[in-house]
Amino acid sequence: MIVLCAHRLYTPREEILNPLLFIEDGRISSVSSRTEREIPAQATVLDFTRDFPDAILAPGFVDIHMHGGAGVDVMRASLAELQHLNKFLTTHGVTGYFPTTVAAPLDQTCTALERIADAIEAAQGPRAGNGDQAQALPLGIHLEGPFLSHKRRGVHPPENLIEPTLEIFERLWQAARGHVRMITIAPELPGAIEVIAEAARRKICVSIGHSDATIKTAHAAVEAGARHATHTFNAMRPLDHREPGILGEALTSEQLSADIIADGIHVAPEIVKLFLRAKGVERAVLITDATAAAGMPDGTYQLGPIQVEVKNGRCTVHGEPDGKLAGSVLTMDRAVRNVTRFSHWSLRDAVRAATLNPTAATGLRQHGQITAGAEANIVVLSPNGEIRRTMVRGG
């Protein structure tokens, strides 16, 4: 048995002062405060207040929209490269994530899905020996495309966009061996509503995005089972007060959670604030949409089939004069800190948007919260949201 001690703990629904967190076999067995329980004599004690008197325990961050980092692109990565990425992610507090696809030729996408499915299954197995650096877990696949709007495609190559059909959806599902957890889809495309209904039936989190939908179509998507919206404001029909469109639905529907790229580049800080007010502490989700360039120096990197160029924190399509944004170099810990800077949200609420909210949106019950029975995926934070330590399954 391992017992973690700190100054404070975010479950994140609640806050516990002087917490004791008990871990057995990589899972959380119980949580209490020092005033309620003694530390058993045989337990291994990790008291983080020794080095950091103000240490905060929180669930590990879960990034549901991530294309890569540390020079690794998830569409092309080998198992060893993915492990390198997984170690990098823990240095930013991430303990679980969805490798996210980019619209590519269908064969290439299927090959990538097979490889990512291998990595997900490998991560489900027993952990490597003690003393290894913690590695973030790929928890499921996010299909960003190929069912996206031409008009709102962002940098997804137009030749790789496809009209949704159940046949193509089935082919992607088979290639991923059922590990698809999330799909971003433009609901206005012919055939989209049918695919949304089928994906929802398979318990996939259906997220509307890369879309030029009117409010009526966005509403029909929710009726069919859509429950989330992808990088709110980016690659969406702009808000209009008479035709609020997909944004009107994403911001106001109580049936939809929604995510945002809080890097201060994709969306202005004031709009992040507006988004947080609209979605509230229960439905706002932080994502990075990070590319292989995250954590790397300025230069040229691969994003699925696209080459991207990074300069001063902006990630744009290589060689395009208009410099369309192509993913980010954001990390989850910075997204959390940005939220506390851009708004009046507490660190606990910002952490919730990076933990419980994304896992609740995607049905991952073992992740994103500190509760008995959940996997012991934990970050140790400073009161400013700096990462002090990350643990995956208690190690």
Which residues of this protein are in contact with Zn ion, per CB under 5 A?
144, 289
State in angstroms the smallest separation of the CB of 184 from Zn ion. Answer: 8
State in angstroms the smallest separation of the CB of 122 from Zn ion. Answer: 24
State in angstroms the smallest separation of the CB of 289 from Zn ion. Answer: 4
Cite the active site residues: 289
Q: Among residues 9 and 112, whose Cβ is nearest to Zn ion? A: 112
- SS3 for the chain is CEEEECCEEECCCCEEECEEEEEECCEEEEEEECCCCCCCCCCEEEEHHHCCCCCEEEECEEEEEECEECCEECCCCCHHHHHHHHHHHHCCCEEEEEEECCCCCHHHHHHHHHHHHHHHHHHHCCCCCCCCCCCCEECCEEEECCCCCCCCCCCCCHHHCCCCCHHHHHHHHHHCCCCEEEEEECCCCCCHHHHHHHHHHCCCEEEECCECCCHHHHHHHHHHCCCEECCCCCCECCCCCCCCHHHHHHHHCCCCEEEEECCCCCCCHHHHHHHHHHHHHHHEEEECCECCCCCCCCEEEEECCEEEEEECCEEEECCCCCCCECCECCCHHHHHHHHHHHCCCCHHHHHHCCCHHHHHHHCCCCCCCCCCCCECCEEEECCCCCEEEEECCCC
State in angstroms the smallest separation of the CB of 376 from Zn ion. Answer: 29
State in angstroms the smallest separation of the CB of 234 from Zn ion. Answer: 9
Q: Among residues 287 and 356, whose Cβ is nearest to Zn ion? A: 287
Q: Among residues 144 and 212, whose Cβ is nearest to Zn ion? A: 144
Residue nearest to Zn ion (CB): 289
Q: Among residues 86 and 184, whose Cβ is nearest to Zn ion? A: 184
Q: Among residues 145 and 245, whose Cβ is nearest to Zn ion? A: 145
